[in-house]
Amino acid sequence: MSEMEKMLRGYGLTTAEIFYRMPDHPTLLQTFVWQSYDLAPEFPEMKGFLKFWQETLDGPLHSVRYVHRKLISAAEWRSVKGEIIVH
């Protein structure tokens, strides 16, 4: 599915700032920024990524901060039937 199709189906841009502990130095926190199109309020893409992180990567999660913004909605989309070009 293209980005435009996702936006028309209600997806918005989700950005997550992930704080995790360094495996070799558990007292230090490191950050990772993840961004993808996702559906609020369930956030299946972000939850899937965080599940992958916990099952596969060594750095245990400390916390996650995220923001979500719909870039376009179906009400904002309109079909254009013609085009006039003026030079």
Residue 81 forms part of a structural domain? no
Q: Which amino acid is at 83?
A: E
- Structure confidence at residue 47 (pLDDT): 97
Contact by Cβ (8 Å): 53, 63: no
Q: Which amino acid is at 38?
A: D
Residue among 81, 73, 4, 74 nearest 37 (CA): 4
Regarding pTM above 0.75, the answer is yes
Residue 10 forms part of a structural domain? yes
User: Regarding beta strands 29-38 and 12-21, do their DSSP bridges make them parallel or antiparallel, or are they unpaired?
Assistant: antiparallel
Contact by Cβ (8 Å): 47, 8: no
- Structure confidence at residue 32 (pLDDT): 96
Residue 82 forms part of a structural domain? no
- Structural domain boundaries enclosing 14: 3-73
pLDDT tens digit at each of 87 positions of the chain: 888 888 888 899 999 999 999 999 999 999 999 999 999 999 999 999 999 999 999 999 999 999 999 877 656 666 677 766 676
